[in-house]
Structure 1
Amino acid sequence: MSDPGQRLRSSLAADQAAMAQFSSSGEEFDSPIAMEALRATRVLHAANQDPFPRPGRIRVITIANQKGGVGKTTSTVNLGVALALYGLRVLVIDLDPQGNASTALGVEHSVGTPSIYDALVGDREMSEVVHPTSASPNLRCVPATIDLAGAEIELVSVVAREYRLRRAIEGYLQGLPEHERPDYVLIDCPPSLGLLTLNALVAGDEVLIPIQCEYYALEGLGQLLNNIELVRAHLNPGISVRSILLTMYDARTKLADQVADEVRNHFKDLVLPTVIPRNVRVSEAPGYGQSVVTYDPGSRGSTSYVDAAREIAERGVALTPLTDVRPGGARGAYPPPLPPRAFPDTDSATVDAGTVPAPSSEESSR
């Protein structure tokens, strides 16, 4: 049995039966172990009865924030695994030279491994660099190797360098039968606003921004939003910020509440209702080549990412294929998008790239 999710579901079946037996006898489940087992059972068994809804079109989501350490890679991996375990086909593209997403998914990314570098700079098709993962049969990954660190320089002289990733993705989708195309393509960006991130913004239809619940995470957000608006105006008129995920929430401090409130007040419904708490299991999981969803499905980090993935999936149901929109009405600047993937409506809600509010007071402990 190679699927970790299936192994965990089987191992927790006995716990579920035991809890049902004790519950019928009138006993309470207020112990930490019992509650964690209950949460794990809900995470791993809900997919059998309540799978995530499929989106109205292929969703290419760029997960970006130029600040490091805010949870981009962690969110990419855990959202991808949650979507896959709950019945959706997912492709994760690791665009960070550090290769952390590849590590967390148990995908080899040493020097010489076919990777996203070969698709961006070399002459390989993306189908040649897509690898299976141990997390789920529905989840595949394009790893990143250290070679990607030099891609920024190598792409400078390349014609249409901003569209390299978009062309690679669309060529890959075009070569797949419709029933094998992913429902979600998640692009993990490096912590910068360089050419790699620019490629991800041009390739994506929407942006998900993880924001750490601390003051510093807000400082560079305005610059990121301005860059997204520039890409929208000149390179990809369909790109927009559709989701903001609050991460590393520490309930012990008032600052976390203040940052969360300020972000929700400013960005309204773009902010996902679920908040990702600080959880040691989230940090431990990559050491075992896993996501927290498969490493410890009963942890608060796991259940939070599953809830966030469900919210993202529910938002995608209403999306429908739309006409191709390009700067100046130009045609042939890059391969036409494939049905059902197309640019989102350019009139849809997007983020105001104005000043991002800051917390009103200093951090204090409760």
Structure 2
Amino acid sequence: MTTVLAVANQKGGVAKTTTVASLGAALAALGQRVLTVDLDPQGCLTFSLGHNPDRLEASVHEVLTADLRPQDAIVETGEGVDLLPATIDLAGAEAMLLMRPGREFTLKRALSPLLSEYDTIIIDCPPSLGVLTLNGLTAAQSVLVPLQCETLAHRGVGQLLRTVREVQQITNPDLVLLGAVPTLYDARTTHSRDVLADVSDRYDLPVLWPPIPRTVRFAEASASGATVLAGRKNKGAQAYRDLAENLAKHWAGSELVTFAPAVDS
């Protein structure tokens, strides 16, 4: 059975796209057939996986607005995952979708023919709570929230969780909130742990293990059009491999391993 996972946070700069690309590559390394979907008009995931959005002939925009078959827009990547890419044209999709009945279900309908072709589909939602993000949450079975381990990082988390609850009530009652993925984590400081403890207590939100460490390798990988897993061994790549194993075991029936921020890891 295909797992459809949305990765969402309306706050930018929380390593959301890095999480989608690296988690997808790590799941592919475990033998899964993985499709990543770029729903961000900025096309950061598309670029991170080695494709120039300005040179693509077809993208998720045409899939959502012109009834193009997703198979005709999907491209391969060097990470062993397939990609349904985005271009700047996607910025106009919100206005076009607003005029359509059942607009929140557009992506779900488009992805339906692909469910037999992939083990996991990961959706990179844009940093907003507009129609595109609602499409991502409606199409998904579960949602992850990347959360930067800094004081202001959880501003807006409450709003995102309200949106998730509304989606569960209206368009996708089966949507499961898996929890937060701590990113840009510095285990040497009590500040990072305090932020996670506050989020966990305030929002009753599980914090998944392991936390993703702050490392320059992520920026270097993005600039080269590859994920951090493609380079030599580093702690960031290993963290995403561990997270992928945690999720894969959960989808196979095990409980998620969560992170206790009060305990130094």
- TM-score scaled by structure 2? 0.91
Q: Which amino acid aligns with 2:160?
A: L
* AA partner of residue 235 (structure 2): R
1:113 — aligned with what? 57
After TM superposition, give the deviation of residue 108 of structure 1 in Å. Answer: 3.5
Can you give the 5+ residue segments of structure 1 that lack an aligned partner in the other structure?
A: 1-56, 320-366
Contact 1:105-1:289 at 8 Å conserved across structures:
yes
In structure 2, runs of 5+ residues without a counterpart are: 255-265
Offset of residue 164 of structure 1: 0.5
Q: 1:152 and 2:103 equivalent?
A: no
Q: Is the 8 A contact 1:63 1:208 kept in 2?
A: yes
- In the other structure, the counterpart of 2:76 is 132
SS at match of 1:242: strand
Any residues of structure 2 matched to 1:186-265 within 5 Å, and which? 186-265=122-201
Residue 328 of structure 1: aligned partner: none
Deviates more, 1:159-168 or 1:310-319: 310-319
CA deviation vs aligned residue, 1:136-163 (integer Å, no higher than 9, x gap) = 2xx1000000000111111111121111
Q: Is the 8 A contact 1:212 1:248 kept in 2?
A: yes
Equivalent residues of 2:196, 2:207 under 8 A apart: no
- Is the 8 Å Cα contact of residues 90 and 140 (structure 1) preserved in structure 2? yes
Residues 111, 147 of structure 1: 8 Å contact kept: no
Structure 2 contact 158–203 (Cα < 8 Å) conserved = no
Contact 2:213–2:235, Cα closer than 8 Å, also in 1: yes
Q: What is the count of residue pairs matched by the alignment?
A: 256
Q: Tell me what 2:246 maps to.
A: 311
Looking at structure 2, the residues matched to 131 and 243 of structure 1 have their Cα atoms a distance apart, in angstroms, of: 30
**Structure 2 counterpart SS, 1:275:** coil
Q: Deviations over 1:26-59 (max 9, x none)?
A: xxxxxxxxxxxxxxxxxxxxxxxxxxxxxxx211
- Does the CA contact (< 8 Å) of 1:96 and 1:148 recur in 2? yes
2:109 maps to 1:167? yes
Q: How big is the shift at 1:199? A: 0.5
TM value normalised by structure 1 = 0.67
AA in 2 matched with 1:106: G
**Where do residues 293-312 of structure 1 align in structure 2 (5 Å cutoff)?**
293-296=229-232, 298-312=233-247
Question: Is residue 111–residue 145 contact of structure 1 (8 Å, CA) maintained in 2?
Answer: no
Q: Aligned residue for 2:261?
A: none
Quote how far apart the aligned CAs of 1:123 are.
2.2
Q: Check if 1:83 corresponds to 2:19.
A: no
Q: Contact (CA 8 Å) 1:245, 1:275: kept in 2 or not?
A: yes
Could you give the per-residue CA deviations for residues 324-352 of structure 1, whole angstroms, max 9, x where no partner exists?
A: xxxxxxxxxxxxxxxxxxxxxxxxxxxxx
* Bigger-Rg structure (1/2): 1
| Correspondence 1:281 to 2:217 | yes
Instruction: Report the secondary structure of 1:251's partner residue.
Output: coil
Task: Describe the SS at the equivalent of 2:187.
Answer: coil
Q: Classify the secondary structure of the residue corresponding to 1:273.
A: coil
Give 1:272 deviation, angstroms: 1.3
Q: Give the Cα–Cα distance (whole angstroms) in 1 for the partners of residues 95 and 170 of structure 2.
A: 22
1:274 alignment partner, SS class: coil
Contact 1:113 1:145 in 2 (8 A): no
Displacement of 1:268 in angstroms is: 6.8
Which residue of the partner structure matches residue 59 of structure 1? 3
